């Protein structure tokens, strides 16, 4: 199929010709029709715009859905007298009489939740505020969508004690977190790795700051600057096709998505029980409209500093059986972490509306994340031959050394997005365009790792308490001078990923026979470059053993696992290194290898075009079309042959391919309260840059480790079906959804015995697997019980449950095996109970994720799984006045640790312990 697709230049010319032809033909037909325009804005009783309100012309199939600024537009309404019904979940519907004149624009502005006297309805059940406002907005957006998507609205962000954007998304069905130090960083959607998601800010693709993956670390982005989070699970042709997991669009606030002047401020203190130290978070949003509401400007900024600590125990190479007992095959690591995280973000939106039919915008966002980490590690060097077990959790090791080392490092992540564009309505034709630049980098300006090692000694271990293993024996009596400097590493690195985007879309309303609908076509060009540059310096001791741990020792009482717990003082170690350069020998060979073996530059250009259409036939809406994406990929990196006298050669490779991505979506409205959906969509995910980069390392024994520039992209067929019911008594939803994915050519890394070019030595490389299949069921129930008698009318219930089942065929690498897809949890669940009344809110929530495969090894006992995770959070707030509220949040109340284990043996690979954290503060709204 790839060879049948036109080249990028031919594809570009084809799509441009198609755009012009459709525009000329459709506008010519529409110019002959005797119709008028019906447009306006829908707001609530307080004047706030209502997004996704449904505007329907009664006794016709004509209907529209309001944009996030509350505006709607119907461009082909036949002349005549009509009743227009406007509905929004959570508010009473409203009917209005209008007269539409041919060739003219009729404006109908509607306020819901307002009596005929234009006074706000006083009944509390008709007032949407607090967490109910966020739920109402999200449910209306989901109900009105032509494809399957879920929403987190700004009013709901912050109603859970979530630290960042990733954690705000964990409450959606099918979404699970990948955590770092207990804090959410990446999201998995329906069991898919975060590499398989597409992430955007205001419709602009966000590059990845990570060196090895396409993952976007959502913990970099503060949630305070967001207007909504939109998760699309079933792609339409006008969306980028590289999103097998799902497509995430983070929409920042604008002056037109709010009403009136905006000035919000919040301040909170953040406490971690393990670290016993307070941090802070401040956030401000300000803006408004001016010049007769033709211009709008909004700015949002936030600043957060958070301190926390953790204890971590790791087992390097799995477990095996000796003398009838399970024993660790290699080293036992005991680690102590102290972390300071700084998260700063800002966004702005400048909007200009010179007329009712034209909109122009300039939007930007900048997000900065600094991670300052001190890792103190004791490594007890073990191997099976030197170990005598006394049980499955205890034993002694003789004739092996003990290490203590320090990792003193700072990582700075920056993500910025700048975009300009516009939307222009010309009768029934809408034109929108976008030009954008996005950039992400991970600067590793300072990574300092000294290692001290003792002579051979002995120790006894007892790991019956996974959170507090105990290491005793002769090693504990060694003098500090016995620990000599073994090695030192000083690394500087910069990983950058930047993308330019240009897009043009045309949409025209038209009747298909007697049924209203629209057509839409567009083209898009994305140009991306990934650059990994590392400066890795390796040093050895030049003092002949005179420099020891005694020179830089730091006593620690934080970790009672080993007695004593020997650590390196980072201040003293840095000072010694800088003041005594003659005490360290730089190894030029290992430094050169370390600096070049990970370096590469890859370029990826994508031309895309699509055509789609939608038609509404009474209660049924059908949308379908096709997207074509043509990809040109180039990469260059290093071939390193040998480790003693290495030879460095610059190499490059390239590949081009194309993908045809059809999709079809149907929505049937059973009633005003119920509807079902079904869809099919083809999608892809391009290989991770590190997997496809040209990087080759050849050992002195001719074993190969390399990237694979000829990898095929993942390719998936996605089927969804669901039914949604919106209870009439109060705000809520009950939905049941099923999905199935068939994924071909999925990618994993593997070692092939005899796979080197000589047919004898081994090859370690990323490969395309055969086929993976995942299917699942998503169940959601949300309800606000406002219909109950007081005081129970303040109760609310929130829940979702996702079941997935999948198996992957690794082909020749693991013949005959059927494995779970990496990142797939069989069960994901959220449960929350809330009470909100008279300005008081109390919410307790549970988030659960079952175990999942994290790393694929060479054999089943080398596969690494992450154990199940369940976390309880509590939040409470009180509105002192209409403008002032105070709040308190408690995270991980059950002190849930992180645990990973080896597949077949079930032995622990990693056990990391945290404690609860708390936030408390004040919010001001003017």
CB 503 within 8 A of CB 486: no
Distance between CA atoms of 597 and 697, rounded to whole angstroms? Answer: 7
List Cα–Cα distances, 666 to 89, 792, 849, in angstroms.
22, 39, 31
Residue with tokens 């420099």: 547
Reduced 3-state DSSP string for 56-71: EECCCCCEEECCCCCE
Q: What three-state secondary structure class fits 629?
A: strand
Burial code of 847-877, b = ≥16 C-beta within 10 A, e = fewer? bbbbbbbbbbbeeebebbbbbebebbbbbbb
Residue with tokens 């099976």: 384
Going through 122-206 in order, the beta strands assigned E by DSSP cover 149-153, 175-180, 183-189, 197-201, 204-205
The terminus-to-terminus CA distance of the chain in angstroms comes to 58
* Run means of pLDDT, 10 residues per run, the chain, 926 residues: 44 52 46 76 86 91 89 91 92 92 92 60 43 78 87 69 85 91 91 93 93 89 86 96 94 85 92 89 94 94 93 89 93 93 95 94 96 94 95 96 95 96 93 97 92 96 88 93 95 94 95 90 97 94 94 79 80 95 94 93 97 94 96 96 93 95 96 94 96 93 92 96 87 94 90 84 89 93 90 92 88 78 91 92 94 87 92 93 92 92 87 91 88
Distance between CA atoms of 251 and 300, rounded to whole angstroms? Answer: 13
Burial class (CB in 10 A: 0-12, 13-18, 19+), 587: middle
Q: What three-state secondary structure class fits 570?
A: helix
Residue 143 tokens, joined:
């109900």
Residue 186 tokens, joined:
């990446």
Reduced 3-state DSSP string for 436-471: EEEEEEEEEEEEEEEEEECCCEEEEEECCCCCCCEE
Residue with tokens 């529209």: 64
Distance between CA atoms of 170 and 152, rounded to whole angstroms? Answer: 10
pLDDT at 8: 47
Going through 381-428 in order, the beta strands assigned E by DSSP cover 387-389, 394-400, 402-426
Alpha carbons within 13 A on the beta-carbon side of 455: 7
Q: What three-state secondary structure class fits 315?
A: strand
- The runs of H, that is alpha helices, within 640-794 are 689-692
Residue 662 tokens, joined:
């059809």
Residue 771 tokens, joined:
């086929």
Burial class (CB in 10 A: 0-12, 13-18, 19+), 139: buried
Residue with tokens 């509390």: 124
CB 22 within 8 A of CB 30: no
Going through 574-619 in order, the beta strands assigned E by DSSP cover 584-586, 600-617
Distance between CA atoms of 446 and 738, rounded to whole angstroms? Answer: 48
List Cα–Cα distances, 500 to 246, 419, 434, in angstroms.
22, 10, 11
Distance between CA atoms of 429 and 541, rounded to whole angstroms? Answer: 73
Cβ neighbours of residue 355 under 8 Å, at least 6 residues apart? none
- DSSP code of 9? H
Q: What three-state secondary structure class fits 384?
A: helix
Residue 416 tokens, joined:
């910025």
Q: What percentage of the chain's residues is helix, strand, coil (to nearest 5)?
A: 10, 60, 30
CB 411 within 8 A of CB 556: no
CB 450 within 8 A of CB 465: no
Residue (of 433, 41, 48) closest to 257 by Cα position? 48
CB 542 within 8 A of CB 319: no
Residue 708 tokens, joined:
């694979």
Residue (of 786, 728, 839, 784) closest to 130 by Cα position? 839
pLDDT at 819: 82
Q: Is omega for the bond preceding 838 within 30 degrees of 0, making it cis?
A: no
Strand 763-768 and strand 704-706: pairing? Answer: parallel
- pTM: predicted TM-score of the whole model, two decimal places: 0.89
Q: Nearest 5°: phi and psi at 813?
A: -65, -40
CB 466 within 8 A of CB 899: yes
Distance between CA atoms of 597 and 534, rounded to whole angstroms? Answer: 9
Going through 44-130 in order, the beta strands assigned E by DSSP cover 54-57, 63-65, 71-78, 80-88, 91-100, 105-107, 110-111
Burial class (CB in 10 A: 0-12, 13-18, 19+), 34: exposed
Residue 145 tokens, joined:
């969508």
Residue with tokens 């060009």: 525
pLDDT at 914: 86
For every residue of 633-661, DSSP letters joined together read EEEEEEEEE-SSS-EEEEEEEEEEEEEEE
Q: Residue 166 is inside which H or E element, if any?
A: helix 165-169
Distance between CA atoms of 225 and 366, rounded to whole angstroms? Answer: 10
pLDDT at 730: 76
Distance between CA atoms of 122 and 112, rounded to whole angstroms? Answer: 13
């Amino acid at each position: 199929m790839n060879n049948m697709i036109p080249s990028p230049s031919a594809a570009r010319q084809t799509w441009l010709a198609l755009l012009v032809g459709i525009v000329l033909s459709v506008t010519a037909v529409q110019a002959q029709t005797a119709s008028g325009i019906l447009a306006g804005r829908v707001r609530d009783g307080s004047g706030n715009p209502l997004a996704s309100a449904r505007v329907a012309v009664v006794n016709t199939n004509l209907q529209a859905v309001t944009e996030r600024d509350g505006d709607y537009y119907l461009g082909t309404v036949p002349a005549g007298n009509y009743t227009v019904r406007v509905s929004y979940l959570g508010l009473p519907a409203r009917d209005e009489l209008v007269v539409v004149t041919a060739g003219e624009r009729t404006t109908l502005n509607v306020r819901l939740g307002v009596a005929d006297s234009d006074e706000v309805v006083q009944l509390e059940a008709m007032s949407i505020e607090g967490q109910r406002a966020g739920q109402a907005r999200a449910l209306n957006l989901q109900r009105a969508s032509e494809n399957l998507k879920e929403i987190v609205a700004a009013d709901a962000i912050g109603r859970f004690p979530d630290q960042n954007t990733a954690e705000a998304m964990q409450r959606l069905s099918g979404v699970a977190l990948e955590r770092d130090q207990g804090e959410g960083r990446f999201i998995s959607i329906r069991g898919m790795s975060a590499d398989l998601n597409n992430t955007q800010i205001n419709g602009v693709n966000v590059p990845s700051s990570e060196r090895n993956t396409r993952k976007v670390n959502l913990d970099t982005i503060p949630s305070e600057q967001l207007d909504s989070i939109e998760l699309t699970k079933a792609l339409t042709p006008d969306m980028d096709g590289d999103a097998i997991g799902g497509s995430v669009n983070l929409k920042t606030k604008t002056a037109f998505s709010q009403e009136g002047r905006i000035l919000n401020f919040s301040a909170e203190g953040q406490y971690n029980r393990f670290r016993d130290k307070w941090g802070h978070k401040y956030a401000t949003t300000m803006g408004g409209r001016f010049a007769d509401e033709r211009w709008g400007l909004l700015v949002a900024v936030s600043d957060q500093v958070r301190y926390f600590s953790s204890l971590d125990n790791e087992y390097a190479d799995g477990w095996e059986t000796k003398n009838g007992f399970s024993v660790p095959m290699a080293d036992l690591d005991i680690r102590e972490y102290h972390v300071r995280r700084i998260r700063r973000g800002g966004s702005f939106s400048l909007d200009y509306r010179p007329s009712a039919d034209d909109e122009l915008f300039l939007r930007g966002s900048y997000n900065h994340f600094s991670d300052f980490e001190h890792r103190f590690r004791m490594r007890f060097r073990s191997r099976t031959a030197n170990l005598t077990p006394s049980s499955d959790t205890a034993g002694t090791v003789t004739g092996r050394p003990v290490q203590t080392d320090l990792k003193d490092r700072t990582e700075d992540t920056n993500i910025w997005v700048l975009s300009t564009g516009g939307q222009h309505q010309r009768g029934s034709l809408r034109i929108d365009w976008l030009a954008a630049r996005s950039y992400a980098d991970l600067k590793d300006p300072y990574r300092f790792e000294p290692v001290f090692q003792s002579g051979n000694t002995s120790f006894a271990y007892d790991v019956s308490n996974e959170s507090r293993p105990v290491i005793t024996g002769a090693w504990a009596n060694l003098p500090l001078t016995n620990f000599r400097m073994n090695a030192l590493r000083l690394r500087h690195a910069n990983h950058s990923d930047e993308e330019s985007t240009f897009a043009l879309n045309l949409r025209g309303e038209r009747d298909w026979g007697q049924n209203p609908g629209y057509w839409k076509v567009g083209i898009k060009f994305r140009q991306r470059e990934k650059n990994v540059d590392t400066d890795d310096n390796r040093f050895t001791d030049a003092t002949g053993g005179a420099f020891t741990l005694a020179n830089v020792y730091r006593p620690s009482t934080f970790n009672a696992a080993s007695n004593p717990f020997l650590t390196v003082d980072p201040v003293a170690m840095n000072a010694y290194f800088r003041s005594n350069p003659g005490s360290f020998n730089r190894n030029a060979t290992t430094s050169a290898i370390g600096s070049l073996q990970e370096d590469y530059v890859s370029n990826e250009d994508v031309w895309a075009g699509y055509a789609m259409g939608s038609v509404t036939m009474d209660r049924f809406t059908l949308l379908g079309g096709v997207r074509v994406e043509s990809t040109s990929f180039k990469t260059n990196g290093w071939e390193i042959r040998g480790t003693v006298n290495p030879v460095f050669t610059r190499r490059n490779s390239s590949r081009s391919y194309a993908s045809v991505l059809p999709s079809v979506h149907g929505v049937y409205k059973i009633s005003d309260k119920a509807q079902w959906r079904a869809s099919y969509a083809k999608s892809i995910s391009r290989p991770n840059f590190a997997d496809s980069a040209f990087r080759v390392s050849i050992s002195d024994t001719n074993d190969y480790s390399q990237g694979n520039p000829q990898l095929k992209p993942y390719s998936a067929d996605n089927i969804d079906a669901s039914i949604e019911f919106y209870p009439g008594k109060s705000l809520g939803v009950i939905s049941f959804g099923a999905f199935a994915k068939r994924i071909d050519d999925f990618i994993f890394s593997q070692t092939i015995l005899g796979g080197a070019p000589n047919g004898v030595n081994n090859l370690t490389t990323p490969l395309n697997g055969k086929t993976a299949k995942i299917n699942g069921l998503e169940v959601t129930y949300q309800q606000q019980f406002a219909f109950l008698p007081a005081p129970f009318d303040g109760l609310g219930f929130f829940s979702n449950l996702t079941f997935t089942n999948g198996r992957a065929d690794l082909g020749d690498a693991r013949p005959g095996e059927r494995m779970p897809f990496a990142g797939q949890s069989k069960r994901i669940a959220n449960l929350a109970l809330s009470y909100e009344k008279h300005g008081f809110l109390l919410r307790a929530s549970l988030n659960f994720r079952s175990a999942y495969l994290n790393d694929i090894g060479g054999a089943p006992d080398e596969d690494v799984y992450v154990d199940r995770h369940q976390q309880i959070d509590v939040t409470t707030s009180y509105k002192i006045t209409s403008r002032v509220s105070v709040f308190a949040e408690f995270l991980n109340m059950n002190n849930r640790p992180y645990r990973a284990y080896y597949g077949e043996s079930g032995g622990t690979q990693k056990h990391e312990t945290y404690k609860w954290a708390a936030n408390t503060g004040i919010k001001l709204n003017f």
